[in-house]
Amino acid sequence: MGWLSGNIGYFGQIDWFCGALFAFAIKVPIVPLHTWLPDAHVEAPTPVSIILAGILLKIGGYGIIRICYSIFPDMAALSNWWLGLIGVISIIYGALNALTQKDLKRMIAYSSVSHMGFVLLGIASLTAEGVSGAMFQMISHGFLSAALFFLVGVVYDRVHDRNIYSFRGLAQLMPKYTGYVAIAFFASLGLPGFSAFIGEAFVIIGSFNAASVGTGLPRWMALAGSIGILLSAAYLLWTLQRMFLARSGSKVANLGPIN
């Protein structure tokens, strides 16, 4: 670890580190390199969205840990403040965008941007708790995002519509399906007892403790990351209310007796 950084010089380390980080940051993705993800999920069929969200996005986070931080630890220590800031921006920006979406797939795509921001924040903390939380968050998000896109595909394959307001009152027709979606939403927003809570809690703890161990990450970043958890609850619970608990919409009648 770090054998290459001792042989290519200071400026060479900067070039290699920035190049590798840029490549993996697109894959994560982080703001402002995230713009391809919502469009990719909207255009992709359900199985491709599951593979993209469940597996391929995690390659970016793994690459940052395994390549950028392992080979260039000095550059990682020097740039962790900026990486933590980008992680916080990704968390809040992705959550705010998810809050405004009407397309269900696009909403989940922006939620992925927000949740993967926790991965970058945990890595940037350079603490055992933060990096462990980032790894756990990647595994957790891989399962939960795949489940969410699968559940979206259940109704999209029948009516070919993803507009949230088209499915008002869905709980009356599909009570079991509503239960599955509610569980997936509760897990994704980080409710205690689910996997996302563990990953996000470790990231916040590691980021908060980073100031004590001298890694250069201020505690306000941990507090700002906590706001992202509250915003996740806002857009997921609001979507649950609009789709399943409101008065019946136009597309519900076309679903038929499904459960």
Q: What is the pLDDT of residues 142-170, one digit of tens each?
A: 899 899 999 988 888 888 888 888 888 88
The answer to whether residues 203 and 121 touch, using CB atoms and an 8 Å cutoff, is: yes
Domain range for 135 is 10-254
Give the closest residue to 112 by CA, choosing from 157, 84, 149, 150. 149
| Residue 179 within any structural domain of the chain | yes
Is residue 142 included in any domain, yes or no? yes
Q: What is the pLDDT of residues 216-230, one digit of tens each?
A: 788 899 899 899 889
User: What was the pLDDT predicted at 10?
Assistant: 67
From residue 182, give the alpha-carbon distance in Å to each of 18, 74, 236, 239, 241.
40, 44, 9, 10, 10
Answer yes or no: is 2 within a domain. no
State the total domains in the chain: 1
247 in a structural domain: yes
Q: What is the dihedral of CA 230, 167, 97, 26, to 10 degrees?
A: 110
Residue 177 resides in a domain: yes
pLDDT at position 255: 56
The answer to whether position 259 is within a domain reads no
Give me the residues of the chain with pLDDT under 50, please: 1-2
Q: What pLDDT does residue 248 have? A: 59
